[in-house]
Structure 1
Amino acid sequence: AAAFVTSGTTYPILDGIVGLVLIAHSHIGAFDQCVVDYLRPRKFPIIGPASSWTLRAATLAATVGIFQFNTNDIGLTELIAKVWTA
């Protein structure tokens, strides 16, 4: 929590919430359903669980990346504002 408070962004709490919601929505809503629907472990006993764990690792890596971007760079809200006005 201290990293969000001392970060250089204008809206640190909003950056954290947007980052977590973006990652959760992408993981649960899109990518996990593709793995569940098309790479079922019963039909694909090796690649099914491997793809599930690969997705979990990629989600964790994306979460760490967004956290680093929010704490060490301009943050998601400033990025969206700059892209929107570009």
Structure 2
Amino acid sequence: MASIVRPSLLRQTALAARCAKPAFRSNAIKASAFHTSTQRSAILPPGPLNDPVPIPNPSAAHGSYHWTFERLLAAGLVPLSIAPFAAGSLNPTTDAILCSAILLHSHIGFQSVIIDYIPKTRYSGLRKIFWWGLNVATVTVGVGLYEFETNDIGVTEAIKKIWKA
């Protein structure tokens, strides 16, 4: 837009400078000097905000299948969270599928938060720490849910007891 407007402003400034009063001529010179200034580094802050983003290699499997899997997992959590209570049965398989789906859904969600808010280019060390912390937390919660399912009452029964309390 600025490149379209700039030549017409320069023509108007030059035309006004030829046939106007001397006071206007000094203003026209100031205006033309402002528009042709090369001191734009003071306007934009220096740093990585102005660096171009590298274009990733195109891959059909990278984004679309991942997004589809996330949506299917999120939509599948609705019937999975209702089924154990509606059926009335204490099936450990249903509990295990529900716990696995919740754990995977949470892991993918926190992974997206790390990807979005900790850029790899600026904080590569911090990102690795958070990435490994997420993996350790996911394994720890998975082991805890497994122990709760096998050695205790299970998730569905615990929710029923909390609900009636």
> TM bucket by the smaller chain?
0.7 to 0.9
1:83 Cα shift?
Answer: 1.3
How does the TM-score come out when normalised to structure 2? 0.44
Cα offsets for 1:1-35 (capped at 9, x unmatched): xxxxxxxxx32101101110110111112x11111
What aligned pairs does 1:42-81 form with structure 2 within 5 A after superposition? 42-81=121-160
Q: How far 1:64 sits from its partner (Å)?
A: 0.5
For 2:159 and 2:143, the matched residues in 1 are separated by: 19
RMSD: 1.0
Aligned to 2:96: 16
Q: Distance in 2 between matches of 1:43 and 1:34?
A: 16
The alignment of Structure 1 onto Structure 2 pairs a total of residues equal to 76
**TM-score, structure 1 as length reference:** 0.82
Share of identical aligned residues, percent?
38
C-alpha distance in structure 2 between counterparts of 1:21 and 1:84, whole Å: 22
Query: Following the alignment from structure 2 to structure 1, what is the Cα–Cα distance between the partners of residues 134 and 124?
Result: 16
Larger-Rg structure: 2
- What stretches of structure 1 move > 4 A for 4+ residues in a row? none
> RCO higher in 1 or 2 (8 Å CA, sep ≥ 6)?
1
Residue ranges of structure 1 left out of the alignment (5+ in a row): 1-9
Counterpart of 2:59 in structure 1 is none
Unmatched segments (≥5 aa) in structure 2: 1-89
